[in-house]
Structure 1
C-alpha cells in the first residue's frame, strides 16, 4: 500500500526557461494547497495560474497542472508545477513541499508507481527509460512501439497458447478414463511447440540485433598500414579524429569515435595497421587491434585497391571469418574499378570507396543493409532491447525446447507439463504479472530522477 506523497524535478536542475516539478500521492492536493496562492480543487485535468508562497513570502509565479487518480501517469493524484527554470527557484519549491510533508522521490519512482498501480506493464516501463536514453532513430522507434503497448498482444498470445496446451495435458492427467475429452496427441503437441518456439526464437534474434543497435554498433576498422583506416575513421566522423600520414605505422593505439548514421549509432574503433614489425610499441598496438576483434559487432577490413592482397590481409580475413564484416576496397580512385579482382570475395559484402575524395557512400549503404530495419521497425514487431528481458525470453525458449524433447523421447506428459508451466510463468515475469520487489527496485533505480 502506497501511502506517502513524493516530489522531484521532472526536468534537469539547470538554468532553463521553464522547470517542471512533479508531486504524486494521496496528499498531493493537500500539500499544494498549503503553498499555493489559490485553492486547487480536486477536479480532473485543470490548469491554475498563481504563486507559490512560503507563508507570506512569494517564491515564484507558476502554472499548476492537476490530475485526479486514477487518471494520471502514476495512477495517483498528481500535481505538476510549471515554474521558472532557475535552479534556486526550483530547489526552493521542492524544499518547501518536503517541509510541508512530501518525500523526495527515488530515481524512477514515478514510473514504478505507475507500474504498481497497473497503469503500465514492465515492457512499457522499460520503454520509458529506453525512450529517454535513445541515441538513434531506430532505438527511438523500438521504445515508442513498446511504450504504445502495440505488441503486448504477442506475449499474451504465447501465454494463451501455452495455457491451452497445459490445460489439455492436465485434463488427460486428471481424467484418463474419458477418452477424447481435452485429448491432444503427441504429434499435435510437438507441432504446436515447434511453431511457438519458432516465434520466440525470431523475437530473440531481432531483439539481440535491436540491443546492439540500441547500445551502438561496435565497428572495428582493420587493415595493413597505409590502406586508409584513419582516413576512413575521419570520413565517417567528418572530422580529423585520427592522425593521417604517408608514414606506415602512424596509428599505434586504439582511436575511438561515436557517430549517428541516420537510424544507427556507430562506436567506431580505428586500430594499428596489421603487419610484421620489430618495433615494440607498434607490436603492442597490433596486439590490441587483434584483441578488439572479439568485442566487435561489425568489422571493416580495409584493403588498398592498388596493391596485391598481402599475407597480413589474408591473416586478417582468417581471424575475422566468423564475424559480420564488410570488405572495404579503398583508393578506388587510383585504379580502373572494372579491373578489380573480386573472385576471392564472392560471398562477402563489398564496398568500393575513396576516402581522399570522401566517397564512402557505398560503405554507408552496406552498413545499413547489414541490419534488418524493415523487420525490426514494423509497428507489430516485438523488439526487447533490454538484456534482462531477452534473457527471460531465452529461458522460455529453453523450457519449450525441453518440453518438445521430452515428448519426442516419450516422457510422461506430467513431466512435459513442468517445463510448459515454467515457460508460461516466465512470460508473466516479462510483462510484470509476477515480480520480485528487490529486482523491481533495482530496475527503476536506473531511471532518471523525476521519471
Structure 2
C-alpha cells in the first residue's frame, strides 16, 4: 500500500517544555534530513535512535529550532512506515515553524487520526485496537484507562477472532458436505453439531454483553444530575464531589441559574456531574429558563442525586420531584444534618421506594464517603475489576454484538424447525460478518474515515 508522507504536531498546543512534530511515510527521513543540521545525516543513522541538532529552513538557511530528532525505520514503528519525531521547545511559534518547513519540503498535513488509521491500514492493529487508542486518550479514571489499554493490546480482538473461527469452521463443514457429499471421511454436519457451535458462540457473546453496561459507564461516564429545590445544597454537593469550588454557593435561593457540568472520579466510577438550577415556580425570567433546562437534563440522566433539606419539612415540590424520577436510578440525599431536624425521614424512605437514602452535611463534610459508596454499589455491586474481565465499552461494538446474537438466534430457531442446513448457514455466515465488523475485517471505507475523524490531530 503506497501512502504519501504526512506530518502533524502530536502534542497539545500551548506553552510547555517539549513539543513533538511527527512525520510518517516513505519520504519521512529524507524530508526531515533536509532541515536537520547535526553531526551526521539522518539517512545514515541506525533505527530507533535519537540525535541532537538544529532545524533549519533549507530555503533561507536560517536556524529555526534546537531539537532532538528521533528516527524510527519501518516496519517496527506505530504506522509500519518510516517515522521521524522532532522534539523541540513547546512554544506556539516554534513548533508551528517546524511544521511549516516540513510541509514546504513535501510533507502533507495529516488528517485527524491519520497516524492511527495508517497503523490499521498497514495491518499493525485491527479496528477495535484503533478505537482503544482514542479511549485511552479520553480515559477519565484509572480503570477506564486499564480497559482501553486491554483493548489496545488486543484482548477483545482475540475473543472476537476466536468466535469467528468457530463460526467459519462450521460454515466450512457445511460447504464440504454440500459440495463433496461422496467423501465418507468428511465429518457429516448435522443439526446437532451446528446447534452446539451456535449455542457456544451465543453464550460467549452473552458474556461480553454482560459487561456492556459497566464498560460503557467506565468509558463515557455516568450522566448524573443533581436536583432539588433551591438552597438545599446542590452546588455544595457538586463542590464536595469535585473537591473544588466550581459552583457559587450562597444562602440566597436561586443562585444557580444555569446547568453546570463537571467530570468527577467517584471510586473508579466516572461521573458526568450536572448541577441544575433549583426546580421551583418562579417569576424571574432568567431563573425560569434555568429551571426549564434542569427539567430537560433530568430526562437524559442515568443517575439522579435528589437533595432534600434536613432542616425543612417535605414540601409539595419535594414530593413532585419524587414523582418526576419514578423508575429512574436515584440516590436521595438529606443534606444539612448539622441543623435541627424538621424533615420526616420515614416519609422520605417511603418515597425513595428502596432506593438509597444518605444523610450529609456539606458544612461539616459528613456523609460524602457514604454517598460515594452508594454510587459504586448501585452500578458495580461494590466491585469494579478492570483486570481480567474483557469489558465491551464501545457503542458500535455493543450494537454489532447484539446483531450477531440475533443472527445466531435465527440460526438456532431454524435448526429447531428442521430447516435445511445450507439455509441455516446463511444466518451463521451473517453472524461471522457482523463480528468481523468489530475488528475491521469487513468495513466500508466511509465508516473507517468517520471513526478516525474522531481522533485528535497528530494521533
TM-score class, shorter: 0.7 to 0.9
Are residues 1:239 and 2:241 paired? Answer: no
Aligned residues of 2:128 and 2:156 also touching (Cα < 8 A): no
Q: CA deviation at 1:178?
A: 6.8
Relative to structure 1, is the Cα distance of residues 316 and 179 closer, same or farther in structure 2, using a 3 angstrom cutoff?
farther
- Give the whole-Å Cα distance in 2 for the aligned partners of 1:301 and 1:26: 59
TM-score between both structures, scaled by the size of structure 2? 0.85
Matched residue, 1:128: 133
SS at match of 1:370: helix
**8 Å contact from structure 1 (residues 134, 140) kept in 2:** yes
Residues in 2 aligned to 1:157 and 1:371: alpha-carbon distance in whole angstroms: 30
Q: Are the equivalent residues in 1 in contact too, given 2:267–2:376 (CA < 8 A)?
A: no
- Aligned counterpart for 1:353 among listed residues 339, 356, 360: 360
Alpha-carbon separation, structure 1, partners of 2:133 and 2:249:
40
Gaps of 5+ in 1: none
**Paired residue for 2:406?**
398
Select which of 68, 76, 87 maps to 2:73.
68
Counterpart check, 1:408 vs 2:416: yes
My pick for the range that moved more, 399-408 or 113-122, is: 399-408
State the distance in 1 between where 2:322 and 2:251 align: 25
Q: Could you tell which deviates more after superposition, 236-245 or 14-23? A: 236-245
Q: Pairwise mapping of residues 366-445 of structure 1 onto structure 2 (< 5 A)?
A: 366-372=374-380, 377-445=385-453
Residues in 2 aligned to 1:373 and 1:148: alpha-carbon distance in whole angstroms: 27
Give the alignment partner of residue 365 of structure 1, picking from 352, 363, 373. 373
Q: C-alpha displacement at 1:184, in angstroms?
A: 4.8
How far 1:308 sits from its partner (Å)?
Answer: 6.0
Distance 1:171-1:233 versus aligned 2 partners, 3 A rule: same
Distance 1:436 1:371 in 2: 36
What per-residue deviation string (whole Å, max 9, x for no partner) do you get for residues 18-54 of structure 1?
2222121112222233222231215222222222233
- Tell me the C-alpha RMSD between the 2 structures: 3.2
The answer for the alignment partner of 1:52 in structure 2 is 55
| 2:16 aligned counterpart, secondary structure | coil
Q: Partners in 1 of 2:256 and 2:92 — Cα distance?
A: 45
* C-alpha distance in structure 1 between counterparts of 2:296 and 2:229, whole Å: 16
**Is the Cα–Cα contact under 8 Å of residues 377 and 383 in structure 2 kept in the other structure?**
no
Indicate how the Cα distance of structure 1 residues 374 and 158 shifts in structure 2: closer, same or farther if over 3 A, else same.
farther
- How much does 1:373 deviate? 8.4
Question: Structure 2: 5+ residue runs without aligned partners?
Answer: none
Tell me if structure 2 keeps the 8 A contact 1:53–1:59: yes
Task: Note the 1:266-415 alignment, pairs <5 A.
Answer: 266-273=271-278, 277=281, 279=283, 288-305=293-310, 312-334=317-339, 340-341=345-346, 342=349, 347-359=354-366, 360-372=368-380, 377-415=385-423
The 10-residue stretch of structure 1 (310-319 or 12-21) with the greater mean CA deviation from structure 2: 310-319
Q: What does the per-residue CA deviation read over 1:389-414, in whole Å, with 9 as the maximum and x for residues that have no partner?
A: 33222222222222223223333322
Specify the alignment match of 1:88 in structure 2. Answer: 93
CA contact (8 A) 1:234 1:241 kept: yes
Q: Is the 8 A contact 1:136 1:262 kept in 2?
A: no
Please say if residues 322 and 351 of structure 2, whose CA atoms lie closer than 8 Å, have aligned partners that are also in contact.
no
CA contact (8 A) 1:29 1:42 kept: no
C-alpha distance in 1 between matches for 2:289 and 2:10: 48
Task: Write the distance in 1 (CA, Å) between the matches of 2:383 and 2:201.
Answer: 19
User: Scaled by the length of structure 1, what TM-score is found?
Assistant: 0.86
Q: Distance in 2 between matches of 1:301 and 1:71?
A: 54
Which of 32, 41, 46 lines up with 1:39 in the alignment? 41
Give SS of 1:20's match.
strand
Q: 1:228 to 1:29 in 2, by over 3 A?
A: closer
Deviates further, 391-400 or 377-386? 377-386
Displacement of 1:421 after TM fit? Answer: 0.7
Deviation of 1:185 (Å):
4.6
Give the superposition deviation at 1:129: 1.6
* Count of residue correspondences: 448
d(CA) in 1 for partners of 2:47 and 2:202?
46
Task: Tell me the alpha carbon deviations over residues 89-132 of structure 1, each in whole angstroms, 9 at most, x when there is no partner.
Answer: 32333222222222222222111111111111112211222222
